[in-house]
Every structure is written in C-alpha cells, then in structure tokens.
Structure 1
Amino acid sequence: MKNLTTDLLIDTAGGVTTLTIHRVAKKNSFTTAMYAGMADVLDQAQADAGVRVLVIQGHETIFSAGNDIANFLQTPPTTLDAPVFRFMRAISSFTKPIVAAVCGPAVGIGTTMLFHCDLVYAGDNAAFSMPFVNLGVCPEAASSLLAPQRMGYGRAAEALLLGEPFMAEAALEMGLISRIVPPAEVNALAQRQAQKLAAKPMRSLLASKRLMKQGQAELVAQRMAEEGTLFGQMLAEPAAQEAFSAFMEKRKPDFSAF
C-alpha cells in the first residue's frame, strides 16, 4: 500500500500493515481526508489475503486529539456516508486482528476507535477522553453501547456524561487497554505482538475473533447508525454551535440558555 496522504503513513511487511497517524504538529487531529484514507486502508487490508494483522499507532507524545475542529466545521458529517462514519464502519467490521499503540492524549474518536481494537498497548503518559457532551453532541462509534459494557455504567457515565479524562492505569483496570509500558516502548511492543499474531493460523484467528464478537455486530451497526444520525442533527443545534465557537475563540462555553 502507498501512503495516501502525508498525514498517514502506511507500511506492510511480514503480513502486518501498520497505519501511523503522522500529523504531530496538529496533535494528530483528524481531517476529512484522513478519515477517508484510514477507511481505504482498512478496506484494502481486509481484502488483501497477504495482510493478517493491522497496527494503528501514533507518536510517543500524542495518539490523537480527535477531530481537527476547523476542518470539521468546514466539512461536517451531515450524512452517514461521510468519511468519518465510513471509517467507523470499517474498523468495527474488520475481521482480522487490530493492535493499537497509544501514547499521550487520545481524545474523542481517538478513544472510541479503541473499543474496536483487539489489543491495545498504552504508554504511561496515555490520557483517554470522550468529551462529546461538552461539545453539544453525542457519543459515536457505538461508544454509548460499548463503553458501559467494557467500563461499567458508572465509569462510562463519568467518561461520557462529564467528559472527564482518565489515565492509563484506570483504562487498564477497566479492560480498555491490555498493558502499560514506557512511551518509547509502545510502538515496538505493538509490532512484536502483531508479528506473533501474524505467525498464527489465519483461520483460527479469524474464527476466534468472530466468535468473541458474535451477537454484537448487528447491535454495534445499529447503535453506530443511531448515534451518527443524532450526532449530525445536534451539530446544527445552538449548543454545539456555542461549544465550537467557544473552542475556536479559546473561551469557556456558556450553555445556560440550552
């Protein structure tokens, strides 16, 4: 696979495709073009019999700050065919193992995409947050379904209703991540684990993942579509407009009228 944009680096070797989020100057925030590129990578890796495992990684100081707000406001996801929703569907339905390496902040979709990864390794500097309510919108990527299942309702409520961040140790205790190591070691660990997976019998890997997720796929797809429709509606409402205006103007939002 070739690099689809300078913001995404793609490498395939030994049955492992590695997708590196490469926009550190912008805190690895996602643009519409990046979502389209990541969806394409997932689709190609799914179809390529030579690809056995996918690794998603960022930089040792930042995984992703979530959406690039300026780009997001210019090209909001008004339909379920928007690139961001294409990416969510692709990662949630990917049948091969996905290994994620997460260091530093993982904001919004930077956290919710991890619910669809099979192994997640984090640096001790990782910080996870899902501040959708604080932006006047609702959860996405089926996180309203998967966060309570994985984290328990109380902790999911703190994360999704208050939008409060939580650190790597809490994420490990909740089962969101698999292991914590120093940031400089995270990407290398993810690669080693991916190579172990790639050496195993493919039919066994695919069957095991499918069996573990059996019964969830339809629920996830339904919830993702419901969230996406509501998310698009809420973007046009006053609360979200106030939240995003406040973000761009670097001030505290005032939701007292909403």
Structure 2
Amino acid sequence: MDIQTHKDNGILTINFNRPEKKNAITAAMYQSMADALRDGETDVSVRAILLTGKPEIFTAGNDLEDFMKNARSLASPDVLPPVYQFMQALSTSSKPVIAAVSGAAVGIGTTLLMHCDLIYLADNAKLSMPFTQLGLCPEFASSMVFQQIVGYQRAAEKLMLGEPFSAQEAYEMGFVNKVLPLDELLPYAQQVAAKLVALPAASIRVTKRLMKAAQPEAVKVKMMEENQHFSAMLNAPEAKEAFTAFFQKRKPDFSQFN
C-alpha cells in the first residue's frame, strides 16, 4: 500500500509508503489520505492524527506524470480532485494533527505542514516549495498562511525563489516546533500524540477551534483564488517549458517569456 494507515491507542497514523518513487503522491494516494482523515474525524476513538513518511524521505511532492494526467480536473468546478479532498480534510480537521518529517518534503510536502498543528523535523529534513521554478504559484492558501507563520520577508524568499531550506532554518523562522536526531523523531512525535490523547478531547477540540476561529473562511477563499491562478498557469508556456525540461532532465529556459 502506497499509503499505510492504522489506529492505535487513540492515534490515527497516516504514513507515506512509496519509497521506490520517493513517496511521490498520486491521485489514488491523496484519495486514501482524504478518506482516512474523514474517517478519523467521525471516529470518536481517534483523538490525535500523526502524518509521517520514511526516514530517508517524507515526500518528493506530486508524482508529476500522474499529476499531469489529472491536471485537467484541477480546473473543473464540478469535480473535487483527491488532492483538494485531502487538503480540505486536513485544514478543517477538528482533531490535533502532528507531522513527523524526515528527509525531503517537496512542494505539497511542505504546504501540507502549514495546516498541521504540531510539526517535528528530523535533522536531515529539507523543505522546499519550488512552484515558481515550475512556472506555477503557491497552492492551498500557502501564500497567506506561510507569511502569517514566519513573516512576509521570509515567506517571500521561500515562495519566490523556491529554494530548499534546512530543518534548523525552519525552526529558527518559527515554522516548526522542534528538530530532533533522526532516530528520535518518530518516538518523540508518538509521545506527543499520546499526551494529546490523554487530555480531555473536548478541551483540545475547543482550543484548536478558538485558535483557528478567524482562518477557515479565509483559507477556503485563498485556496480557491490560488487554484484559479494555479490551474491557468498549468497551461501557460512557462509551465510547459518547466515540465518538458524536467522530463528531458535539462535546465528550463524561461528567458523567452515576458
């Protein structure tokens, strides 16, 4: 299974499990995660959610071949693609969501962290949002949420340049809670999840709802706005050049575009 899920002692764990493809995410994987989150939302035995990957990699982001096959559905107002189902379920979850990240977290691998409550990184983690490098724009309200977390200048640097940044830099800018040695990451995140499970579930839910009270509608609106731009840019010459260059394993040339 490319996505592994299991429930144990009040914790729903969702694990990227496609290491042979660097945990690149397909539409089917998004659907599995969306279904797991929705199930966890309604299951009273689930009191915390843990997202994780493999020691060597969290996720390389979208599987580009699968992504391009399904790109047309991103622009359709009548279809809610699996990636949107997943991000909607994640951003609206009433239960605490913990992310334990090691290795690379590319593109949506970093974007999704903005909608988690607690983020723990291994010291080998490397985050990046290379959307501009692909002729695209930020996704899933990251243009709003990321700067709310780290400030405008830091967000502008990471979103405009799209260059990777280290676990330590992510911690120093206030994006994540803690950086740990790789072998301590998962046990620590599981320990935190167990602490949340032991606390009154209603208190945790209300605390989260109060903290995010001003966000849900704004996030929804920003997601829609970004999606309109993202979908249009997918069909623009810059993105076509970027994806062609990727598959041809060469550096893209954007000098021909204004």
- TM-score, normalised by the number of residues in structure 2: 0.96
Q: Who is 1:40 aligned against?
A: 35
Q: Who is 1:222 aligned against?
A: 221
Residue by residue, what CA displacement relative to the aligned partner does 1:111-165 show, whole Å, maximum 9, x if unpaired? Answer: 0100111111100011110010111111112100011111111111111001011
Matched ranges for 1:21-170 at <5 A: 21-76=16-71, 77-79=74-76, 81-170=80-169
2:58 match: secondary structure: coil
Superposed displacement of residue 78, structure 1: 3.0
- Paired residues, number: 253
Q: Who is 2:9 aligned against?
A: 14
Superposed displacement of residue 181, structure 1: 0.7
Where in structure 1 are there 5+ consecutive unaligned residues?
Answer: 1-5
Provide the aligned C-alpha RMSD in A. 0.9
Verify the 8 A CA contact 1:85 1:228 in the aligned structure 2: no
Write the letter of the residue equivalent to 2:149: R
- TM-score, normalised by the number of residues in structure 1: 0.96
2: CA distance, partners of 1:35 / 1:227: 19
Q: Who is 1:255 aligned against?
A: 254
Residue by residue, what CA displacement relative to the aligned partner does 1:149-192 show, whole Å, maximum 9, x if unpaired? Answer: 11111111111001011101111112211111111221111111
Q: Who is 1:3 aligned against?
A: none
Write the letter of the residue equivalent to 2:122: G
**Sequence identity, in percent?**
49
Superposed displacement of residue 69, structure 1: 0.8
Mean CA deviation greater in 199-208 or 185-194: 185-194
Write the letter of the residue equivalent to 2:75: T
1: CA distance, partners of 2:173 / 2:39: 32
2: CA distance, partners of 1:140 / 1:221: 12
1: CA distance, partners of 2:27 / 2:59: 14
Superposed displacement of residue 67, structure 1: 0.5
Residue by residue, what CA displacement relative to the aligned partner does 1:84-103 show, whole Å, maximum 9, x if unpaired? Answer: 11111111111100010000
